[in-house]
Amino acid sequence: MRKLFTDRFVASTRAPGTVFDVKTRGLALRVGTRTKTWCFVYRNGGAPQWFRLGAYPAVSLAEARAQAVGHRHGLEVNGKDPAAERRAPPPEPEAPPQTFTFKDFVPVFLAVQKGRKKTWEDDRDKIARHVAPAWDALPLKDIKRQHVHELLDSVAAKGLTIGVNRIQALVSRIFTVALDRSLIDAHPAARVIKRFAEKPAHKSLTDDELRALWRGLDRHPGAAADAIRLRLLLGQRGGETAGMLWKELDLTTATWSMPPERTKNKRPHVVPLPETALMLLTKRRKRVPRDEAAVFPGFSLNGDEHKAIGALHGDAYTWKDLRRTVATRLAGLRFDDSTIGRALNHAKTSVTAKHYNTHAYVDEIRSALTAWDADLRRIIANKPKKQVRILSMRAR
C-alpha cells in the first residue's frame, strides 16, 4: 500500500502491514501489533534490500525521510550500499602514535652534526658506546636532569675523567638540537656543572719523558706501541694513524699519502717517512698478512691494548700531547710555523692556501720530520745536543 505520510497518519495507523511513502522513494513504515519501524527499501542489482532506519516515535517522520533521502543519494551517486556497509566489520582502531624515543632521535641528530662538524663520526661512536645503552628505549621527552647525572656518574665510574666532560658536552648538544626542533619542552643538560676541572692543553714531553715512553713501549711490543711511536715520529692525528692502510704507503719512496676522506680538513696530505718510521713500517709489513688492508688490523684508540699502554705515562700527559710535542720540538729545531702547520696538516686559513695553492710541500715536510727523527734518536740515546756554532764572515 502507498500513502502520503503525515505525522497524523503515522501516529494513528494501527493496521498491521507495510505502507510506502508516496513522497519519499523507498521509505516504508512497518506496522506491527506493538511497534512501528521505519525502513529504507532499495535494489542494488538483486533482490530488494530492507534497511532499518529506527523505530517510531524515537525516529520521527521528518528524520526518517531525511535518512531515506541520504541513503538514496549515497547509493545512486556514490555507490554506497547501506546494508553492505552495516554488515562490514568495523574498521581496526588506529594504533596509538608511536613514542619518539632517544633511539629514534639519534639519526636526526647525527644528520645535523654531519652537516656541521667534520668529526661527527666521533659523536656517533660516543653515543653508541656511552649513551645509547642507557637511553635508547626512553621517550625523548621523558629524559630529565636526573638521567643526565646518572649517565655521567656511570661514565665517571668507568675511570674516565676529562672524557666525562666530553660526553657531557655531547649530551648538551643533543638536547640543544632537540629543543630547537620542538621535540622536547626543556633542556635537561643546561648548566650542568662539569665533574672534572680542565687545564689548558700545553703539555710537551721532556727529554726524560720521551726516553721513559720509548723504553716503556719496548716492553709492550704490538700494534698499540707501534702506532704510538708513529704518532710521536710523524705528528699526525690519532685516528688517522690508527686507520693507516697499506695502499696509502709507498715504502720505496718513503711516503704516506692520505686521501681527503681520511683527514680532518678533508684535504689530501702526504707525509714523508723518516728513517725510524720507515724501519718500523717495514717490520710491520713482514708481520701483517699480505691480504690485510690495515697496517694495524683490529687496533682501536678505544681498545684495551691502547688503554693498557696508557699506564706508561701515569696521567702525566695524554697521547694527544705527542702531536704537540712534535710541533714544539720542530720549533726548537728552527722550523717556522708554516712548515710545522703543513707537517701536522693543520687547516689552511688564507684564501690562497685554501683555494689556490695545491702544492704538497713534501720536501719541506721531509726536511722537518727527518730533523725531528734524528733529534728523537739522540734523546733516546741520551746524547748531548750538538751546539751550533754561528760563524760570521768578515767583509773584505
Same domain, 40 and 112: no
Residue ranges of alpha helices (H) inside the chain are 7-12, 61-77, 82-87, 102-116, 120-126, 132-135, 145-157, 162-180, 207-218, 223-234, 238-242, 275-287, 304-309, 321-332, 337-343, 351-355, 362-380
Is position 201 within any domain? no
Q: Structural domain tally of the chain?
A: 3
Same domain, 264 and 176: no
Is position 142 within any domain? yes
Domain that holds residue 341: 207-380
Max CA distance (Å), the chain: 147
pLDDT of residue 271: 94
SS3 264: coil
Same domain, 52 and 121: no
Same domain, 355 and 219: yes
Same domain, 81 and 107: no
Condensed to tens digits (0 to 9), the pLDDT of residues 306-347 reads: 888 877 777 777 888 899 999 999 999 999 998 999 999 886
Same domain, 285 and 343: yes
Least reliable range by pLDDT among 33-42, 104-113, 239-248, 311-320: 311-320
Is position 159 within any domain? yes
- 167 close to 155: Cβ distance less than 8 angstroms: yes
The letter for the amino acid at 238 is G
Same domain, 60 and 146: no
SS3 269: strand
Is position 82 within any domain? yes
Condensed to tens digits (0 to 9), the pLDDT of residues 117-169 reads: 767 888 999 999 999 999 999 999 999 999 999 999 999 998 888 889 999 99
Is position 279 within any domain? yes
Same domain, 283 and 338: yes
CATH code of the domain covering residue 81 = 3.30.160.390
Same domain, 337 and 222: yes
- Say what the pTM is: 0.54
Same domain, 262 and 163: no
Same domain, 78 and 109: no
